[in-house]
Structure 1
Amino acid sequence: MTAQAHTASSPSPEGQRLPVVKGGLPMMGHAIPFARDPVGFLLRAHGRQGEAVAFSLPGRRVASFCGPQANAAVLSLDDSEADRRPVYEPLVTPLVGPGAIFDVPAEVKTWHDSLLLSLLRRDALARHAPDMFDQVERYIAPWPTSGTFELMTVMRDLAARITAHCLIGPRFNRTVGPALATLLDQLQAAFFMSFVVGSRSLLPHHRRADRARKTLTRAIKEIAPHDRPEDSERSHFEELMSAVGPDGRSLDEDTAAAVMLGWLFASASTPAHAAWTGVLLLQHPQWLPVLRAEQEAAFTDHPPASLSALHGLERLGHCLLEAERLHPAVWLLARTAVRDLCIRGYRVPRGHLVCVSPGASHRLPGVFRDPGTFDPDRYLPDRREHRATPCALIGFSGGRHPCLGMSFALQTTKVIWSVLLRAFDLELADPDVREARTDLKHPPRRPCTVRYRRRNR
């Protein structure tokens, strides 16, 4: 990669011009090769021209940066320099409703984030753990002794039910849970289509998403206010409604429902990460005895009585990190340059889309040894390749805006695979699993069929 003296952004517009990716078509720019294989496109471009390149998409000029130092420079920019809201607000607000996520001033979004963090602190995660195990055990209980299941469908169902139960409430999960994953899929499909076509159009995807949003919003408003978790005097919805924001006002019912729907929508990266974790483990079955032995040593009971026992699954944690590296659920992190910037010595004009790609950065041989190889040992204390430089592993973003739900998502995935590995012998029906490019999360292409047989426990 090209080494630059600048390690952070500067307000000065001075610097060298970004190298431009060759090719491209009038009006379309590089949209076709980018859409066909975005990670491959970026790896080729950066491999030829260094850590910073420019290319074009319909109506947009893109400044792409790749590599740990470049990732750190971009992800350290604040919203007055490179803002996420112009990129994501038009995509997200129609799906969750106004007044939530990016459809609010920065100080209000910070307040909304603090409301979610109360459900994601370590003490909250400890309370969630038994419920997570219970949700997975209940889900697999009716399965016969042997059979098959579609991996992405199961991960989608489990992640949706766990998130609904822990963040909204048990009654909401029991009532909406069976349909929740399908409704969230409809929102995700509309998100993808809006990203592809560049605007929200009246496609069938958007009409289905509108119906899904109305269904989920109505269910949240009807159920969540009375959905008090065990040993709690107030529901999570009531906690939202009673909180006071930076302007001295509380949320109204519609906005509180939109905030909660945003929590559900944000959980959509978990199924892809959990599914790829399973694919990689079953493609490398030599790891299964290691993980089962680790679980037997860590758990004196099942489900474990403490969060520390779950944290003791270090080798499973390394497998999760490797799945994050090889198949990050978010393969592109984008911001809009609010003003002219100088990043790593390159001029980035105001209005450019500024991007880093976890999918490309995670496959750089100068950062990770044999980057195309599944190797959980790279996270052992004597190697720790992901810690050798800041922002080497950014599958859950990083810098100023790390993913708030990362610990919750990783704990969900750990619980799911702890239960499945303990309960079943598993194998892929077809070990050749490819990415689905019709989804921004790039999950395993369906059907991804897994054969299972119950184990004696």
Structure 2
Amino acid sequence: MEVDGNKFLNTGLLLVATILVAKLISAFIVPKSRKRLPPVVNGWPLIGGLPRFLKGPIFMLREEYPKLGSVFTVKLFHKNITFFIGPEVSAHFFKASESDLSQQEVYQFNVPTFGPGVVFDVDYSIRQEQFRFFTEALRVNKLKGYVNQMVVETEDYFSKWGSSGEVDLKYELEHLIILTASRCLLGREVRDKLFDDVSALFHDLDNGMLPISVLFPYLPIPAHKRRDKARQRLAEIFANIIASRKSANKSEDDMLQCFIDSKYKDGRPTTEAEVTGLLIAALFAGQHTSSITSTWTGAYLLCNKQYLSAVQEEQKNLMEKHGERVDHDILAEMDVLYRCIKEALRLHPPLIMLLRSSHSDFNVTTREGKEYDIPKGHIVATSPAFANRLPHIFKDPDRYDPDRFAVGREEDKVAGAFSYISFGGGRHGCLGEPFAYLQIKAIWTHLLRNFELELVSPFPEIDWNAMVVGVKGKVMVRYKRKELCVKQ
């Protein structure tokens, strides 16, 4: 028996040795492919570049881009993430069809939050129809009504400030943004009667989206359990609101009503579950980005007197032209304020990475003329936070300079499409971009017209640890109400 056991062991060892030798021959003697694969970031066995990636993808990009160029691969366990940095290599990322580069697989972690049957839980054809619902809810005629609501909410919020004082601007803008978003998107019923309840539920939803949620969205941890409970309660609340509107044959001027009235191409109306999921997706897409960008805009303006004076002068000229009125068309005239917001967003895009899953082989050519073949199965990524600061596109890229977007200079257009990607671009550009600019403009128009402001805390740092990268800590501002208060 012992001899048989030794023979079995020897046979097993021989088999293992044969497999190892075969793999070595395959790896080093017989080339796997003639493909010109991108260079790979140095990493550890098995886990690859995971430690550096988790430390922060932007820090990794800063180290690797100068060495490896605009296309390179990071191995994370069995996954390959290939980065495209810069407009010269990003066209395929933004313009490829869903059948070639897909969002669905890489954003599955959103499904527990948004809910079943919407956005990343449906096939591409249904998702396109749902995106059409968003587009129709954000048409100019709808936006004009939303602006009126934004102005009222803003005026009411800041009327509660005293004649002078100190506030955390970040805190104030976060709360105002959720109020305006609730009124414009979620509806009058939520804003007037259920705001506190719904706001708390959204807080639980928000806190249920953690870095670990990207890898394990259904892990039974307390944050995920609170997320799921909040999602269920929100579904009940909106089901009641929808039923009430339908039974009373009542219509409102908000995104909720647009989704209730939406129909698919085959004539099928949206369900209560779909309406709830689409609303949650809309709020998640806009709330953080608008509050973060509003805060950065304020911090930069209050530290750059040149541009603060410029936006104040613009407001003065518009008031001479239109009086105290503020509406959609007047906000659209605010080119200086627009450029100041756009520059803050260039420096601090809240979404620092955009991802796709490659379903087919394709190739790219860098600005230096190097050609790379990208295999099917790679996750393809780009980074607005890094690409927006490339020195061959933006002069002195780390400096706040809104004039870089002025007529005659327009640095984002000189280098071609996809040079500025804070809102994405191409097939999957952000549908809420016009809404976001109007919301931020409405808020800062009121602040500029009614208050003298001074930043009294240090210029804020970036909170790299957040899922949506924003402002770290408090942004303390001293305010004084102007004597001749301009009422909107």
TM-score, normalization by structure 2: 0.84
Which of the residues 338, 359, 380 maps onto 1:338? Answer: 359
Residue matched to 2:36: 16
State the 1:237 CA deviation.
Answer: 4.4
Distance 1:144 1:27 in 2: 59
In the alignment, which residue of structure 2 is the partner of 1:383?
Answer: 409
C-alpha separation in 1, matches of 2:205 and 2:389: 30
Distance 1:337 1:145 in 2: 57
* Bigger relative contact order (CA 8 A; separation at least 6): 1
Change (3 A) 1:360 1:237: closer
Q: Match for 2:405: what amino acid?
A: Y
Alpha-carbon distance between aligned partners in 2 of 1:69 and 1:185, rounded to the nearest angstrom: 40
How far apart, CA to CA, are the structure 1 residues paired with 2:331 and 2:69? 41
Among candidates 208, 211, 219, match of residue 193 of structure 1: 211
Partner of residue 71, structure 2:
52
| Aligned position for 2:313 | 293
Q: Does structure 1 residue 255 correspond to structure 2 residue 282?
A: no
2: CA distance, partners of 1:234 / 1:141: 26
SS in 1 for 2:63: helix
Q: Find 1:206's aligned residue among 211, 224, 228.
A: 224
Give the match's secondary structure for 1:413.
helix
Q: Distance in 2 between matches of 1:129 and 1:248?
A: 31
2:338 equivalent among 317, 337, 340: 317
The residue type paired with residue 327 of structure 1 is H
Q: Deviations over 1:73-120 (max 9, x none)?
A: 3111111111000011x2111012101111112111111111122221
1:250-306 Cα distance to aligned partner (Å, 9 max, x none):
2222222222222222223222122211222222233222211101212323341x4
Q: Is the 8 A contact 2:299 2:459 kept in 1?
A: no
TM superposition shift of 1:59:
4.3
Mapped pair 1:392 → 2:410: no
Q: Deviations over 1:371-406 (max 9, x none)?
A: 000001101111000111111110000011100111
Distance 1:447 1:32 in 2: 29
Q: Rg: which structure is higher?
A: 2
Moved more, 204-213 or 130-139: 204-213
Q: Distance in 1 between matches of 2:332 and 2:34?
A: 47
Deviation digits for residues 223-257 of structure 1 (CA, Å, limit 9, x no counterpart): 355469xxx74675455344331344222222222
Alpha-carbon deviation of 1:155? 2.3
Q: TM-score scaled to structure 1, two decimals?
A: 0.90
Q: 1:72 aligns with which of 67, 88, 91?
A: 91
Structure 1 pair 53–272 and aligned structure 2 pair: CA distance change class (3 A): same
CA distance in 2, matches of 1:237, 1:277: 29
Q: 1:316 to 1:242 in 2, by over 3 A?
A: closer
Question: Relative to structure 1, is the Cα distance of residues 291 and 204 closer, same or farther in structure 2, using a 3 angstrom cutoff?
Answer: same
Give the distance between the partners of 1:94 and 1:453, measured in 2 at CA.
44
Question: Which amino acid letter does the alignment assign opposite residue 338 of structure 1?
Answer: H
Maintained 8 Å contact 1:160/1:180: no
Cα RMSD for the two superposed structures: 2.3
How far is the alpha carbon of 1:428 from its aligned partner? 2.4
- CA deviation after TM superposition for structure 1 residue 322, in Å: 0.4
Q: For residue 3 of structure 1, what is the aligned residue in structure 2?
A: none
Residue 203 (structure 1) shift? 2.3
- 37-46 or 361-370: bigger deviation: 37-46
- Where 2:454 maps in the other structure, the secondary structure is strand
Q: Is 1:171 equivalent to 2:189 in the alignment?
A: yes
Equivalent in the alignment of 2:348: 327
What's the CA shift string for 1:339-394, capped at 9, x where partnerless?
Answer: 22323332222221100111111111000000000001101111000111111110
Deviates more, 1:99-108 or 1:152-161: 152-161
SS in 2 for 1:152: helix
Q: What is the CA-CA distance between 1:320 and the residue it aligns to?
A: 0.9
Q: Which residue of 2 aligns with 1:348?
A: 374
Distance of 1:450 and 1:196 partners within structure 2: 35
* 2:26 match: none
Per-residue deviation, 1:324: 1.3
SS at 1:85 equivalent: coil
- For the Cα contact (< 8 Å) 1:18–1:348, is it kept in 2? yes
Number of the residue aligned with 1:108 = 126
CA–CA separation in structure 2 for the residues paired with 1:102 and 1:365 = 35
The code of the aligned residue for 1:72 comes to A
Contact 2:354 2:381 in 1 (8 A): yes
Distance 1:455 1:111, change over 3 A: same
Distance 1:277 1:224, change over 3 A: farther
Larger mean CA deviation between 326-335 and 201-210 belongs to: 201-210
Matched-pair contact (CA < 8 Å) for 1:221–1:253 = yes
Aligned residue in 1 for 2:452 = 425
Deviation by residue 1:40-63 (Cα, 9 ceiling, x = unmatched): 321321221111011123442100
Shift of 1:188: 3.1
* Residues 213 and 219 in structure 2, CA contact (< 8 A), matched pair in contact too: no
Whichever residue aligns with residue 375 of structure 1, its letter is D
Larger mean Cα displacement after TM superposition, 134-143 or 419-428: 419-428
Tell me, in whole angstroms, the C-alpha distance in 1 between the residues paired with 2:343 and 2:257: 39
- Is 1:141 equivalent to 2:162 in the alignment? no
User: Aligned in 2, Cα 1:195/1:285: closer, same or farther, shift over 3 Å?
Assistant: farther
Q: Distance in 2 between matches of 1:436 and 1:182?
A: 23
Question: SS at the partner of 2:457?
Answer: coil
Structure 1 counterpart of 2:385: 359
Q: Distance in 2 between matches of 1:433 and 1:448?
A: 6
Q: Is the 8 A contact 2:251 2:257 kept in 1?
A: no
* Amino acid aligned to 1:301: G
SS of 1:61's partner is strand
